[in-house]
Amino acid sequence: MLDRRNVLQLSVLLFGSVLLVSAFVEELDDSFLESRDPDDIWLIEFYTPWCSFCRHLDPVWHQIGSELRSFGSPVRVGKSDATVSTALAKEFRVRNYPAILMFKNQVKYNYAGSRTKDGIMAFSDRVSGPLVRSLSSVQLFQHTMNRHDVMFVYVGAKSELKGNYTTAAEELIVHTFFFSATRDVLPKAVTLPSLPAVMVFKDGTYFFYNEERDGDLKSWINRERFPNFLEIDGYTLYAMGESGKLVLLALVEETHLCDESLRNFYFGFMQGSNYISGLIMGDVIVPSFIVVNLSNDGYFLPQRHVETEHHLLDFLEGVLNGSVESLGGNGFSQRIRRAVYETKLTLVPLFRDAPGLGCFLLGFPLSIGTIFCYLCIKNRPTQTDDEDKSPQRRKKPRDKKTD
């Protein structure tokens, strides 16, 4: 009797916890835009019932809602079924699922990072706060440096450069933080060539933006917002394609991650090879190196096995001077090859796991197409029918001869 009572109490507690966590995430419908408070900041997920990624994200989404509420964050967390609230999904121009965005001051900020709790929480912290955060003391500056791998800082008074910096922050705040500081709070080792200045701290060092050398400020920030060496997933690799830089990847096995052999290089590494195998449409030996040019979906592979630093430097020099052949690309023939590859990738597992269903799905549209072609050919009028239906030509009467 006592055990049953304990089980019942435990079930009630678990049910209450689920309800409490669910209460931190609100279900939104098409009336959201009319009923919401204009001052509210919303973190919204658009999902569909048939999306497996949405189902995997659902428990993470409720954890995010619970943690933001417990931290006292002003951000309200909601989710919306795009198949039910179609007008709301259309208003926010949702195309892929799950779609994550923040709605603040009538502006939509799309999240394009990995679907993890830490990544989404960091996105919420960046976008919900001030566009450019002021660092008012040496201690605060040092604390911020310890927390961020990459840190952009504007130093100086109000100027045209600061206006450009703020404009860049409006678009790139979804990717990185932006800070401002006075000269006296910078580390003593930092030497400013002139004021105002924009600088970036990363990889244990710092350097300045130079308009003549670096071009547009926003493009420079977009190029430099990644550390020189980091672990890369599919989302990060896609984002790196917008920087205009080539990406060198070291592909390593998931169970043998070790940066002893990579510590002298500032390169990215990726666990496994599934993403790259899809890019090059073939198998990749792990571990290996590959240089990826995401501006045109091109890539470079070493001509021999890279065993030493000298081999790696030769490979990189070959990429730069053109002696290493560029593969892939987004030309017409490559697109045809990719369409064939993706079709094969979809059909092979289907025929292997469920051959009957695969034959039906492939044979049914072919049968319909064959019947349609047969009916079109059968009902096509012949040349004889056309001649029979054509009006007979009338003979013109001869002109009478005049006397």
d(CA 26, CA 327): 48
Q: Which of 142, 140, 153 is nearest to 201 (CA)?
A: 153
Burial 142-159 (b: 16+ CB within 10 A, else e): eebbeeeebbbbbbbeee
* 114 Cβ contact list (under 8 Å, min separation 6): 233, 235, 236
- Residues annotated as catalytic are 51, 54
Q: What is the token pair recorded at 132?
A: 């450019």
d(CA 376, CA 385): 16
Q: Is 402 helix (H, G, I), strand (E, B) or coil?
A: coil
d(CA 248, CA 288): 11
Give the max Cα distance, the chain: 136
